Structure 1
């Protein structure tokens, strides 16, 4: 078999944005980092002027103010064009895109920005579907399920929790910057691959002590096969969460009888109203 997926070249991608909804958010910062595969690390970063006011919570996360982005950021259309071109080159080269929640957020965000500024979808610009995506949040949820929240402010599968779970050092001052988060996602993917390709009894004690662990699902698969598995894992997880939200006994104060959780991965379909030209 060819080189295991976690030892191949990866393109780590992360965005910091104006809000948490990929349908309305604008890119503020971006990082695309080529790592691994026995080659030197190649880092590209962008700062964009989003052109709209950012949500206060988003500013609190990434620390970039409207004024700073407007003064120092690149024109959004030009910046999105450069990012899309860089992604196109990665996809054409067959290098997998890796990120934490990249399929749940980042790629849909970029797709909407491409449609907004460039007049075409992300896959249209790449001239092929995205079939080599590695989402460390999806992998972590599947391989090490049922993890509890760390605290009221730190969720069980957010980037920091995943990094610390796999023994990666975490610097909170650097965190939530696109470059730092992108690189950490690639390192987490590598760690997961190492565990999967280590004989079972030689795996870390925390893995052996898990009530359920499914790391063997990451073993001896191509990137394309891993991508296809993540499509199913993400859908199954979304369906379970939707069912939980609709159950008043289980969800309690979070109960929502009309909850709809998107199941598509790594790109969400464009909402019907936007297809009809009613969106932003």
Structure 2
């Protein structure tokens, strides 16, 4: 494995646009995988799914601009899209490129549920390393006020959003840019072994999640009990088998 710090090697960006926000029931609409940085030209692949019979919610269409009719007419079979996304990510993981995913538990859980739905091998067979700018930013600068969407992080770290947010290719590239800027701003993180950094984020993510639950309990008297983990949420026993 290269001895260069991860900030000087290529990153693999990944982002999805979906039919909705329910990782168990909703489907992939578009997915993008990009190779970014490391002194190499940026390469991007984007897929559009025919939804496999599902429908895009009106709220989701307002966000990414794709209708059910467009997806069904222009998309490739969902099983093919899911398989090709996993193959592309697995190939980059095999080259020890970290997979950069903003809010990893959503996109990676969505992908995992789609794999189970169509009998596609899991991305986790390739044992990827994940970098999540949402976790890195929130842990390393946890007392900064304000929103922390990808758009907000791009403004904060001076990363250009080419063409606007809620396009999977644009968002995948932007997530890489923000993550790289975080590695530059916090040199200790930029020098960290990516395997160790993956494990550090897992601990930080759980700590941040528990902090949020404690705040909810104090503020509202109850906390969100939805199953949660990082970088993805394992399916309940017997689900997706």
Q: TM-score range by the shorter chain?
A: over 0.9
Over 4 Å off, 4+ runs:
none
Larger radius of gyration: 1
Q: Does residue 192 of structure 2 align to residue 194 of structure 1?
A: no
The answer to which structure, 1 or 2, has the higher relative contact order (CA under 8 A, 6+ apart) is 2
> In the alignment, which residue of structure 1 is the partner of 2:199?
228
**SS in structure 1 at match of 2:113:** helix
Q: In 1, Cα distance between the equivalents of 2:75 and 2:54?
A: 13
Q: Does residue 217 of structure 2 align to residue 246 of structure 1?
A: yes
Q: In 2, Cα distance between the equivalents of 1:167 and 1:176?
A: 18
> In the alignment, which residue of structure 2 is the partner of 1:63?
65
Where does the alignment leave 5 or more consecutive residues of structure 2 unmatched?
A: none
The alpha carbon displacement at 1:256 in A equals 5.8
The alpha carbon displacement at 1:225 in A equals 1.1
Q: In 2, Cα distance between the equivalents of 1:273 and 1:240?
A: 30
Question: 1:264/1:79 Cα in 2 relative to 1: closer, same or farther (>3 Å)?
Answer: same
The alpha carbon displacement at 1:2 in A equals 2.4
- Contact 1:238 1:261 (8 Å CA) reproduced: no
Q: In 2, Cα distance between the equivalents of 1:26 and 1:10?
A: 25
- Contact 1:115 1:122 (8 Å CA) reproduced: no
**Of 144, 151, 154, which residue of structure 2 is paired with 1:160?**
151
Where does the alignment leave 5 or more consecutive residues of structure 1 unmatched?
A: 150-155, 198-215
> In the alignment, which residue of structure 2 is the partner of 1:265?
230
The alpha carbon displacement at 1:129 in A equals 2.7
Question: Paired residues, what number?
Answer: 239
The alpha carbon displacement at 1:219 in A equals 4.2
> In the alignment, which residue of structure 1 is the partner of 2:88?
86
Q: Deviations over 1:136-192 (max 9, x none)?
A: 00001011113333xxxxxx1110011100112346x62100010000000101111
The alpha carbon displacement at 1:121 in A equals 3.1
Q: Does residue 148 of structure 2 align to residue 148 of structure 1?
A: no
Q: Does residue 117 of structure 2 align to residue 116 of structure 1?
A: yes
- Contact 2:20 2:60 (8 Å CA) reproduced: yes
TM-score, normalised on structure 1? 0.80
- Contact 1:81 1:118 (8 Å CA) reproduced: no
> In the alignment, which residue of structure 2 is the partner of 1:180?
170
> In the alignment, which residue of structure 1 is the partner of 2:46?
45
Give matches, 1:29-44, under 5 Å: 29-44=30-45
- Contact 1:163 1:188 (8 Å CA) reproduced: yes
Question: 1:30/1:256 Cα in 2 relative to 1: closer, same or farther (>3 Å)?
Answer: farther
The alpha carbon displacement at 1:233 in A equals 0.5
Q: In 1, Cα distance between the equivalents of 2:120 and 2:161?
A: 39
> In the alignment, which residue of structure 2 is the partner of 1:274?
239
The alpha carbon displacement at 1:259 in A equals 2.2
- Contact 2:184 2:190 (8 Å CA) reproduced: no
TM-score, normalised on structure 2? 0.92
